Structure formats: C-alpha cells, structure tokens
Amino acid sequence: MLKNLTIIEFLEQTASAEPLPGGGCTAALNAALAASLTEMVANLTIGRKEFQAVEDEMQKIAQTAADLRKKLQNDIDNDAQAYQEVLAAFKLPKKTGEEKKQRSRTIQQAFKTAATVPLSVARDALKIMDLAFRAITAGNQNAVTDGLVGVLAARTAALAAAYNVKINLSAIKDTVFVAELTREIKKLERHVLEKEKGILAAVKICK
C-alpha cells in the first residue's frame, strides 16, 4: 500500500514514470499532513498550566485531527484504487452489444468513484482548516507557525483534490451527478480561499 511507503520511497515512486501515486494521492497526503500539524499544536497545548481553560477543547481537536489523519492516510490508497478501477473498466471486453453496455456502465461507475474519493478529501481538508485555526488562536503560541503550515497544507490539499474531482466529472454522463458535485466543489473552493485569506489576516506572526 502507498500509505506504508517511506517518505523517500513515496517521493521516488511519485517521480517515476508510473502513474501512481499521482495528484489525487498527493492531495490526500497533504491533507493528512495538515491534520498531523493541527494535532501537534493541540498536543503541545494539552497539559500546560497556562492553557487549562482550553484543555478539553484541545483534547477534542487533537482527537478529531487524529481521526481525520487516519482517514486521509487510507484515502491515499483509496484514490489509487479508484484510478486502477477506471483502467480496469476500460480493459473489459466489448465484442458483443451486452459486453459494450456492461463495459460502459462499469466505466461510468468507476469515474464516479474516482470523483467522490477526492471530494471526500477536499471536504476533510476544509474541516482541518477550521480545526487548525482554532488550535492556532487558542493554543500554544510557540507552535503558531506549525499550525499555519497545516492551514496552507490543507488549503493546497482541498484545491488539489477539487481539480481531481473536476477532471473525473468531465468523463461522467450522468448530468444530475455532475451538476451536484460541480455545485459543491465550486462552493468548497470558494470557502477554502476565503478561509485562507481570513486566517492569514487574523494570525500575525511578526510586527
């Protein structure tokens, strides 16, 4: 599984002529890193006397970020699996009329899966931006830049995942499905950019 590769192995395999891991896998990885950094800020706050007032909140943030991190680790492989399912669908036999119909149905379903996996990543990345912002503003200020890197990683993950949604939607014939996901992804992209702007404006690290 891709999620079990070392950092060096993942980078080398990404750089190779193989199609996996690609942009979708990398989007999930960026979101997982963002969750990790958010979790880190919360954990660096927990147990410190000066932050007793937000202890419970930080524990909840740490747990939520941990859950998202684990989910996104799996999405690295889920995205790869979705891509492989698309390739496999195109290799199905198409000699008879029934085979052609079945092949077409399988291809369409594979593209829908390939669109919904990065959509889930984008949704989670947006959640992480909110968690990171709260951890930054209420938590240990010595880790503020770590939290901001988490925000930026989440922003990148969300927008990258959105591109992967859109490229797969372009191959889907179900107009209702396409319209629904297109509306959501446009709204999500807008929220991501607005959140990034607001967080960077609100968090000052130099005078």
What domains are defined for the chain?
20-202 (1.20.120.680)
| pLDDT for the residue numbered 132 | 98
Question: What does the pLDDT look like over 28-46, one tens digit per residue?
Answer: 999 999 999 999 999 999 9
144: CB partners within 8 A, 6+ apart: 41, 136, 203, 205
Q: What is the pLDDT of residues 48-74, one digit of tens each?
A: 999 999 999 999 999 999 999 999 999
Residue 33: half-sphere exposure toward Cβ, Cα within 13 Å? 19
* Alpha-carbon separation of residue 22 from 26, 32, 111, 161 (angstroms): 6, 15, 16, 11
Residue numbers in the chain where pLDDT is lower than 70: 206-207
pLDDT at site 172: 98
- Half-sphere exposure of residue 110, counting CA atoms within 13 Å on the CB side? 19
pLDDT of residue 204: 78
pLDDT of residue 131: 98
- Collapsing DSSP to helix, strand or coil, 152 comes out as helix
Residue 206: predicted pLDDT: 57
pLDDT, residue 207, reads: 56
CB 126 within 8 A of CB 193: no
Write down the pLDDT at residue 18.
Answer: 94
The CA-to-CA distance between both ends of the chain, in Å, stands at 46
